Structure 1
Amino acid sequence: MPIRSLKVIQILLFVAIIFVATGCSLNEVKKAAGIKNPSVSLEGMQITDLTMESADLALRLTIDNPNPIPINLAGFDYALLFDGKQLLAGKKRDQFKIDAKGVNTVTVPVSLNFADLKALYQGATDQDTLNYELQTTALVDLPVIGVKKFPATQKGQFPVPKIPEVSLAGVNVKKMGLSGAEVVISANIKNPNTFGIDVSQLAYQLSINGVQWAESTVSETIKLAEKAETQINIPLKLNFMEMGSSLYSALMKSKGLNYQLKGDMNLDTALPMLKNVKVPFDKSGVVGVKR
């Protein structure tokens, strides 16, 4: 062990004996021995899974030991708050050593329920950013003194990711005969976020009036700037014999068609927290037919 570390431990032992004997507080012991509080900060967040109801996150926490001696971390408690309202809390009891003047990074998996978030912060899902506060308490096993708690707080903002909106814009009948029809399906993809996104591997199932028309994947990458919208056109060949006479009647009528468009897509952004995540979509409505 380095001579400096031995000296610090000797000082700790000396001041601990004196201050325990005189009934002084832990803060006074730390002050006399020159012990600085380890700090825990939020380095970043990564979305590992995203559904219509929730998001799984990986919190990357950095633990900084400012002291000239190694410390043993016995674990830590954490709580994540939005606008002063606690959304989630937990404990991590993994033990590891942090070198003198060293920094360690740990990953904490958590699940974020959008319904709970909206209940805690009304209208949060309509915002582009959220204020957060991370409260942590590090449990540090200090030489001589033993396991002590070191609280820390970090505040900041992070963008609220929103799932791109996919909807059917129209059905354009290009050719129609006795056995089938050739149509072009137009679908809108809207980016509701304040940052650009790349959409790829868009797998979809399209049903019209309760009958499945198509199931396929758009493999090309679609780039959307912030708050931007684009339209993709999908050509289809429909067989009346396979899909039934109701298809012919639906295309001939002037009224709108009931549709359901569902599937999933890969979403990629420049944000460290949102990289190559598969997200679902499910949209129903009424679409017009153009002949």
Structure 2
Amino acid sequence: MTATMRRLLTGQNSRQGLWLIPLLIGGIACILLALRSEEFLNAQNLLNLVAQAVPLLVIAIGQMLVILVRGLDLSVGAVVSLTTAILALDAPGYVVLPAAFLAAALVGAVNGIAVTRLHVHPIIATLSMMMIVQGGTMLLRPVAGGTIPAIVTDLVTGEVLGIYMPLVWAVLVLLLGWKLIHGSRFGLHLFAIGGGPEIARAFGIADRRNVLLAYIACSLFAALAGCFLAGRIASGDPNIGTPFALDSITAVALGGTQLAGGVGSLQGTVTGALIMALLANGMNLENLSAFIQTAVKGAILLVVVALQPRRFMGL
């Protein structure tokens, strides 16, 4: 029993990574916020907390897929913004919804091809795509506005069978993420590739194809988060996705997934996303400025990455 607890606390000998300690930190954060602010346990604030956590959770799951294979995707925020801009084109839902996901898949495919075929470093490849996509989004919708199809807003707002819709989204996305990461051959291959591409290739795993699929899936998760945000704000916004690139990486790393690849877990990513949401909620309750909040998140990312074991400089 003691040995099992030690492995859970240290992440030793496990490809699940270190996730129990972040979970304990999240629990402590909840207690501190409840003691410090009477508004924290207010029903409306808790519902807002869930709604704020869902898009980051969705994007973080996609981000985890590429981090498992030693990658990184800085274009996810731009894909979120592009998705809201496409959905706000004042066109029927059956037109803009497929268009948004096709555009996201194209972005992911370009990222994957640049990394696997052109051998561009993931940071450079996805940073370049971030700038390209953000520029296209600004051309498409320079300022916030437009009308979101009713089908999108209906799927995000209100309740179904008495259940708050963001909760429904969270459950469905978690089930999808669990199936992809821990319940499929695809997820198993991602862990194997992250642990050692040469060894995975020797066992017959198509590493390039799986890495390409990971980048496409990551962009599709970002588009899904964009749909959620578009439904919540009922308009397109060319800048709404900006914070999510680094926030999603921070959430994944905070949950114990190794940026060097091959080690991580869905429960860790969920924990990291919830801690980030709690942090944002707490800072909002304390009326801290957006500049301070950004600095705090950056500091957390720096500390978390610095604490991760690495044999050489890089991811």
- Do they fold alike, i.e. is TM over 0.5? no
What TM-score does the superposition give when structure 1 sets the normalisation length?
0.23
What TM-score does the superposition give when structure 2 sets the normalisation length?
0.22
Bigger Rg, structure 1 or 2: 1
Which structure would you say has the larger RCO, counting Cα contacts within 8 Å and 6 or more residues apart?
2
More helix by share: 2
